[in-house]
Amino acid sequence: MKTIVTTAGRTNELFIEKAQAIAAELSLPYINRQKKSVKALQERYNTDVLVVSKERLEFYAIGTNAPFFFHPNSAAFRLKRLLKGEPDLFLEATNLKRGNSFFDTTAGLCSDSIIAAYATGDSGTIYACEVNQIIAYIVSAGLKSYETDFVKLKTCMQNVNLVHMNAMEALKAAESNSYDVVYMDPMFEELIEESSNFEILRSIGHHYSLTIDWVEEAKRVAKQRVVVKAHFRSGLFENFGFHRLIRQSSKFHYGIIEI
| Lowest model confidence (mean pLDDT) among 51-55, 118-122, 183-187 | 183-187
More confidently predicted of 181 and 10: 181
- pTM of the predicted model, to two decimals? 0.91
CATH classification at residue 183: 3.40.50.150
68 inside domain:
no
**pLDDT digit string, tens, across residues 42-99:** 999 999 999 999 989 999 998 777 899 999 988 999 999 999 999 999 999 999 999 9
Tell whether 154 and 219 lie within a shared domain. Answer: yes
Q: Report the C-alpha gap between 156 and 110 in whole angstroms.
A: 11
217 assigned to some structural domain: yes
- pLDDT of 5 higher than 80: yes
| Residue 66 covered by a domain | no
Residue 164: what pLDDT? Answer: 96
Q: Are residues 126 and 163 in the same domain?
A: yes
Cβ atoms 2, 50 nearer than 8 A: no
Task: Provide the domain count of the chain.
Answer: 2
pLDDT, tens only, 13-26: 999 999 999 999 99
pLDDT, tens digit, 9 for 90 and up, residues 220-258: 999 999 999 998 888 999 999 999 998 877 888 999 999
H or E element at residue 19: helix 13-26
Q: What is the pLDDT of residues 125-164, one digit of tens each?
A: 999 999 999 999 999 999 999 999 999 999 999 999 999 9
Q: Is residue 27 part of a domain?
A: yes
Please report the pLDDT score of residue 64 as a whole number.
79
- On whether both 7 and 114 belong to a single domain, the answer is no
Residues 221 and 111 grouped into a single domain: yes
Q: Are residues 78 and 173 in the same domain?
A: yes
**Nearest-angstrom CA–CA distance, 129 and 163:** 5
Angle between helices 196-204 and 133-145 (to 10 degrees): 140
pLDDT of residue 16: 95
Shared domain check, 220 and 192: yes
Q: Are residues 231 and 105 in the same domain?
A: yes
| Contact call for residues 226 and 257 (beta carbons, < 8 A) | yes
The pLDDT value given to residue 233: 87
Distance from C-alpha of 259 to C-alpha of 223, rounded to nearest angstrom: 6
35 burial type by CB count under 10 A (0-12 exposed, 13-18 middle, 19+ buried): exposed
Q: Is residue 67 part of a domain?
A: no
User: What's the Rg (C-alpha) of the chain?
Assistant: 19
Q: Of 35, 60, 85, which residue sits at a domain end?
A: 60
Q: Stretch 99-117: mean pLDDT, rounded?
A: 96
Q: What pLDDT score does 165 carry? A: 96
CB-CB contact of 103 with 113 (8 Å)? no
pLDDT of 207 reads: 56
Amino acid sitting at position 150:
F
Return the pLDDT at 69: 94
- 172-211 residues labelled b (16+ CB within 10 A) or e (exposed): eebeeeebbbbbbbbbebeebbeeebbebbbebbeebebe
130 & 197 share domain? yes
Classify residue 207: in a domain, yes or no: yes
Residue 80: domain span: 74-258
Instruction: Determine, yes or no, domain membership for 18.
Output: yes
| pLDDT (0 to 100) of residue 102 | 98
Say if 200 falls within a structural domain: yes
Tell me the CATH number at 23. Answer: 3.40.50.10480
222-231 vs 179-184, strand pairing mode: parallel
Burial (CB count <10 Å: 0-12, 13-18, 19+), residue 254: buried
